[in-house]
């Protein structure tokens, strides 16, 4: 905070609040909950939490809320004025990325001279470097996702709707310990060309490539894995050869991205390494997203593996490496693992937290 | 928009976007999706949507996105600068309440003279008045919630954990057609005194009062119902008499709140009517929240039934009436129905969209 010139942090329900206090309200609604951590915390030991009166009792579920000054507000009260009394009217505060506009604008109205900046802009590395316990939890979430993938390889694909396979994936993730499933994308045939296509009513056919992208939270930490599988029984040999060729390009790109995690590398180096392989193979214009994102108490967070992100990769950063190729109207391929940078057992590179095979698997 | 002095609306993923376009992205992430509706829409017919390049194809799932100018942005690009090019740099825009701080602050940086205000402050009634189709959907969601309540009355309570009963409620809501369950609060005994207590590991005992509060979305529209039930087998006669007495106070308060929906009434009149009954009975300080909130494509939205909200109640507004009494360390009672104001069949009052009995039911 001092380095970023901040008077403090303003933390809303979500991954930042879960990380700092262990507290997650039952539901995120329009009612303001706001943790206020002043930059003077270490000197004074004082931090506060503004909370709806009717949820004051729920704070006990967050072990890190012990010792906070609790500032309840009552329905009908101006909650932004209540929060404003805790802030330096001339200070600069970083607010959690997902804080509601309703509250950002309410605080600005209550404190016209106070400057608000987004956490990602001011202190993007707040949660980026994971400690050993966190890496262990991310590894456990990754292993659970791998187990769910192994299970889904055994279910029938051909003749079933995408949403049926998605329901299987959801169930397997929960069976392997996920408390929350955030997404189970099943993108078959031409739907694979939409990177974020949601599983729908399309009936999967023999010969389809199917992009699977699934993840959620297990014990508070995230998983996020993609594999692309081939449905057996296709008869178009030329298409099959092309599917296999593109899959191999993406597999090599993913390997190159992971391999770019070397001492001195920056985040954009991971993107450049993966992108170079795909561009070299002639598919550059069809890799339409960044190569990766951080993961922790949420499934998308800084650091981002994208051109222009020149922060160095630090030991303990955990992020996805997920290049893809998307051919409109035809098919798509994506392969994604979570990795940890420079762990004790791989001091000069990355260790994958997903270990299921990246070879093209054939399903039924 | 013209009455509010707006140059336009900026709509993020969530209930506003679902209402206006039918489009809901697979997951709400840090990537900007923003519908821009200029106040000149009726004259020019032009509105735009800023969308991550990799989700462009998903827009087809929103029937109301047809005819929008699609403005994709690519990972690594300054998405706020892209959106800013669509806005009047000197205009005032209302932004959806739940728009991320990351984007509010990014837009403010890109457009320092533009004024942003929250939808709830500028156009709170945007979605408040429901048309016949919407009332029908809310009624269907309410009927499904009533059916789930009827089912849960038949499961055992005593000797099971709150979270087990919550799982039953979740299942029943889905069986009766809910696509999404947002909350299944089961607050037994002393936990009932926390209005938003989340179902936990407490084992329910004979003689407990149990507050049930459950809801979610069915066909895009919300349910939100509370009932308080008594677990049979209690032996403390004095406690039982008090539980029944408090339940009766809350039942009468809820009836008074619904009865306050009369021609000329304002939102705060509903709160005042319910609160008066509880205060009269000596429990005023234990009714720690407002009496209600609107409901539509989300379960909490304007108008709010709270002191200070002096907007008139209009025909077609749909909202909860949910007074409660919370006795710390002992028990709580809440009774909640959704109502529609001044429907064709009740032109001078409210019709309940929940019709399950509000009498104190005894469970096993």
Question: Please, what are the domains in chain A?
Answer: 8-122 (3.40.350.10), 132-363 (3.90.230.10)
Q: How far is B61 from chain A (nearest CA, A)?
A: 10
**Is B25 close to A193, i.e. CB distance below 8 A?**
no
What per-residue confidence (pLDDT) applies to A82?
98
Chain A residues near residue B196 by CB distance under 8 angstroms: 25-27, 52, 54-55, 58
Quick one: average pLDDT of B191-203?
92
Say whether pLDDT at B28 is over 90: no
According to DSSP, residue A4 is labeled: T
Q: How far is B109 from chain A (nearest CA, A)?
A: 10
Quick one: average pLDDT of A210-234?
97
What per-residue confidence (pLDDT) applies to A42?
86
Q: How confident is the model over A87-105, as pLDDT tens digits? A: 999 999 999 999 999 999 9
Say whether pLDDT at A198 is over 90: no
Q: What is the residue-wise DSSP string for A32-86?
A: --EEEEETTHHHH---EEEEEGGGGGGGGG-GGGTTPEEEEE-TTS-HHHHHHTT
Q: How far is A357 from chain B (nearest CA, A)?
A: 26
Say which of B12, B57, B99 has its CB closest to residue A194: B57
In chain B, the N- to C-terminal Cα span, in Å, equals 54
10 Å CB burial of residue B349 (0-12, 13-18, 19+) is middle
Say which of A97, A102, A195 has its CB closest to residue B120: A102
According to DSSP, residue A204 is labeled: P
What per-residue confidence (pLDDT) applies to B196?
87
To test the contact with chain B by mutation, choose from A75, A101, A269 the residue with the greatest count of B C-beta atoms within 10 A, namely A101
Chain A residues near residue B197 by CB distance under 8 angstroms: 26, 57-58
**Is A105 close to B118, i.e. CB distance below 8 A?**
yes
Residues whose CB is less than 8 angstroms from the CB of residue B296 and which lie 6 or more positions away in sequence, other chains included: B15, B19, B127, B128, B130, B134, B138, B221, B222, B318
Kindly provide the residue ranges of all beta strands, DSSP E only, lying in chain B, ordered along the sequence.
8-11, 34-38, 48-52, 69-73, 92-95, 115-118, 180-188, 209-218, 221-231, 292-294, 301-305, 318-321, 324-327, 331-334, 337-341, 350-352, 362-363
**Is A101 close to B121, i.e. CB distance below 8 A?**
no
Six token digits for residue B260: 């306050």
Q: How far is B60 from chain A (nearest CA, A)?
A: 11
What are the φ/ψ torsions at residue A302 (nearest 5 degrees)? Answer: -60, 155
**Is B102 close to A98, i.e. CB distance below 8 A?**
yes
CB B338 within 8 A of CB B311: no
What per-residue confidence (pLDDT) applies to A26?
80
The C-alpha atoms of residue A284 and residue A254 are separated, in whole angstroms, by 14
To test the contact with chain A by mutation, choose from B70, B97, B100, B272 the residue with the greatest count of A C-beta atoms within 10 A, namely B100
What per-residue confidence (pLDDT) applies to B29?
86
Chain B residues near residue A104 by CB distance under 8 angstroms: 101, 104-105
Q: Work out the mean pLDDT of chain A and round it to a whole number.
A: 96
Q: Phi-psi category of A76—alpha, beta or left, where left has phi over 0 and alpha has psi -120 to 50?
A: left
Six token digits for residue A126: 């707040």
From residue A347, how far is each of A267, A303, A322, A338, B19 by CA, in Å? 17, 20, 22, 17, 51
Q: How confident is the model over A10-20, as pLDDT tens digits? A: 999 999 999 99
Counting every residue written for chain B, the total comes to 364
Q: How confident is the model at residue A249 (pLDDT cuts 50, 70, 90)?
A: very high
The C-alpha atoms of residue A112 and residue A91 are separated, in whole angstroms, by 11
To test the contact with chain B by mutation, choose from A70, A105, A166 the residue with the greatest count of B C-beta atoms within 10 A, namely A105
Chain A residues near residue B118 by CB distance under 8 angstroms: 101-102, 105-106
Q: How confident is the model at residue A150 (pLDDT cuts 50, 70, 90)?
A: very high
**Is B288 close to A100, i.e. CB distance below 8 A?**
no
Say which of B54, B98, B101 has its CB closest to residue A195: B54
Chain B residues near residue A106 by CB distance under 8 angstroms: 118
Say which of B61, B194, B300 has its CB closest to residue A29: B300
**Is B102 close to A117, i.e. CB distance below 8 A?**
no
Which spans in B176-304 are helix H? 237-259, 267-280
Quick one: average pLDDT of B228-242?
97
| DSSP H or E stretch at residue A9 | strand A8-11
What per-residue confidence (pLDDT) applies to B45?
82
**Is B99 close to A100, i.e. CB distance below 8 A?**
yes
Chain B residues near residue A15 by CB distance under 8 angstroms: none
Chain B residues near residue A328 by CB distance under 8 angstroms: 57
Say whether pLDDT at A28 is over 90: no
Q: How confident is the model over B93-133, as pLDDT tens digits? A: 999 999 999 999 999 999 999 999 999 999 989 899 999 99
Say whether the peptide bond before residue A303 is cis (omega within 30 degrees of 0): yes
What per-residue confidence (pLDDT) applies to A111?
97
Q: How confident is the model over B35-79, as pLDDT tens digits? A: 999 999 988 888 999 999 999 989 988 999 998 999 999 999 999
What per-residue confidence (pLDDT) applies to B242?
98
Q: What is the pTM of this model?
A: 0.91
What per-residue confidence (pLDDT) applies to A27?
79
Higher pLDDT, A70 or B124: A70
Say whether pLDDT at B341 is over 90: yes
Q: How far is A113 from chain B (nearest CA, A)?
A: 15
What per-residue confidence (pLDDT) applies to B27?
79
Residues whose CB is less than 8 angstroms from the CB of residue B47 and which lie 6 or more positions away in sequence, other chains included: B35, B36, B37, B38, B41, B68, B69
- Half-sphere exposure (Cβ direction) of A306: Cα atoms closer than 13 Å: 15
Q: How confident is the model over B273-292, as pLDDT tens digits? A: 999 999 999 999 999 999 99
Q: CB count, 10 Å around CB of B175? A: 12
Q: How far is B62 from chain A (nearest CA, A)?
A: 13
How many helices (H) and strands (E) chain A has is answered by 9, 17
Say whether pLDDT at A202 is over 90: yes
ipTM associated with this complex = 0.91
**Is B98 close to A95, i.e. CB distance below 8 A?**
no
Beta bridge partners of A292: A305
Q: How confident is the model over A272-302, as pLDDT tens digits? A: 999 999 999 999 999 999 999 999 999 999 9
Tell me how many residue pairs between chain A and chain B have CB atoms under 8 A apart: 147
Q: How confident is the model at residue A34 (pLDDT cuts 50, 70, 90)?
A: very high
To test the contact with chain B by mutation, choose from A60, A100, A123, A334 the residue with the greatest count of B C-beta atoms within 10 A, namely A100
């Amino acid at each position: 905070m001092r380095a970023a010139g901040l008077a403090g942090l303003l933390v809303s329900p979500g991954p930042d609040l879960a990380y700092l206090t262990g507290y997650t309200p039952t539901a995120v609604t329009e009612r303001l909950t706001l943790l206020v951590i002043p930059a003077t915390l270490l000197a004074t030991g004082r931090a506060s939490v503004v909370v709806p009166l009717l949820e004051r009792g729920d704070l006990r579920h967050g072990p890190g809320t012990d010792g906070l000054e609790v500032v309840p507000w009552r329905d009908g009260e101006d909650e932004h004025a209540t929060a404003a009394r805790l802030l330096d009217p001339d200070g600069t505060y970083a607010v959690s990325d997902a804080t509601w506009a309703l509250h950002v604008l309410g605080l600005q109205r209550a404190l016209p001279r106070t400057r608000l900046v987004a956490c990602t802009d001011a202190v993007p590395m707040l949660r980026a470097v994971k400690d050993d316990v966190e890496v262990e939890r991310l590894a456990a979430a990754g292993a659970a996702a791998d187990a769910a993938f192994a299970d889904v390889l055994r279910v029938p694909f051909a003749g079933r709707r995408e949403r049926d396979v998605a329901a299987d994936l959801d169930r397997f993730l929960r069976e392997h310990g996920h408390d929350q499933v955030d997404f189970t994308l099943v993108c078959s045939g031409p739907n694979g060309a939409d990177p974020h296509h949601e599983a729908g009513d399309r009936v999967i056919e023999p010969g389809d490539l199917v992009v699977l992208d699934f993840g959620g939270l297990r014990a508070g930490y995230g998983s996020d894995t993609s594999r692309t599988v081939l449905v057996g029984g296709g008869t178009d040999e030329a298409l099959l050869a092309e599917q296999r060729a593109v899959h191999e390009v993406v597999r090599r790109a993913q390997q190159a991205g992971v391999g770019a995690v070397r001492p001195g590398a920056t985040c954009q180096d991971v993107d450049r390494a993966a992108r170079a392989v795909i561009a070299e193979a002639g598919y550059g214009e069809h890799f339409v997203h960044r190569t990766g994102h951080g993961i922790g108490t949420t499934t998308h967070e800084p650091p981002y593996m994208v051109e222009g992100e020149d922060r160095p990769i630090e030991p303990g950063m955990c992020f996805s490496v997920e290049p893809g190729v998307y051919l409109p109207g035809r098919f798509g391929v994506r392969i994604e693992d979570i990795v940890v940078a420079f762990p004790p057992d791989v001091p000069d590179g990355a260790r994958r937290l997903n270990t299921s095979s990246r070879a093209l698997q054939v399903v039924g």
